[in-house]
Amino acid sequence: MTKQLRSQGIVDGRLKYNADGKIQLRGNGLELLLSEVSSSYGINDKGKTSFDHYKAMFGLLAMLRTIAAHHQYAEFATFSKFKVHFIHTHNRAIRHWTMFTPEPGLYVMNKEQKVDIVADFEQKETAIVPLINFTNTLAVSLVDTVDVLSTLAEEHGEVMKDTRFETQRRRPSLLQHIRPVIVRLNESKHTTDIADDGPKSPVYIPNH
């Protein structure tokens, strides 16, 4: 977030994204996952939940833009398969969201899975399996993300190697396609405004 705000000429040191947690790669520091815990167990603060969801959305956009800049000469077809991740905990459940860009200028945020957090120790026998499945699915998704990132690095490196002496040659850049609008929300100012526009599960329509 800080990198992208600076690229827009916003250098105020207070304008940072402070996530509750993140996963980043050792070495280059690229971030692949962020997490937010919006309330204590069993509490569903609608305003806080909505704010953290939108905050994460802009965080994911910043992550995509930063990764595109890091591997800007890779193929867009490869980048379109790349996903960044968001873990959102609120009320009595953990939700796993992803964001990717299937077409230039299009950013899709999708809820991949959800698992309930069961506090009743007597229900541990039935509660543990869904939690394990959730964790395993998340791990596999992160492996897929790292695999695509490795391909992006290879493609970028090949272009840099092939054109290292061609300083005048124009090379297609991912930054031409990955240009999201990134906003740093302020919790005290924006929570009330977006309280009613938080994440919603799709309406179930039974088959007729």
CA 22 to CA 151: how far, in whole Å? 22
d(CA 192, CA 91): 19
Dihedral over alpha carbons 183, 185, 190, 195 (to 10 degrees): 90
Question: What does the pLDDT look like over 7-22, one tens digit per residue?
Answer: 555 555 556 667 889 9
* Residue 168: predicted pLDDT: 59
pTM of this prediction exceeds 0.75: yes
Regions of the chain short of the pLDDT cut 50:
203-208
For residue 44, the model assigns a pLDDT of: 79
Distance (Å, rounded) from C-alpha 109 to C-alpha 107?
Answer: 7
Give me the residue spans of the domains in the chain. 2-195
pLDDT at res. 68: 96
Residue 205 confidence (pLDDT): 47
What pLDDT was estimated at residue 8? 58
Look at residue 191 in the predicted model and tell me its pLDDT: 72
CA 181 to chain centre: 15
Structure token pair of residue 5:
């705000």
Sheet with 31-37: list strands edge to edge: 21-24, 31-37, 84-90, 93-103, 106-116
Q: Which of 182, 189, 208, 156 is nearest to 2 (CA)?
A: 182
Write down the pLDDT at residue 16.
65
Pairing mode, strands 106-116 and 93-103: antiparallel
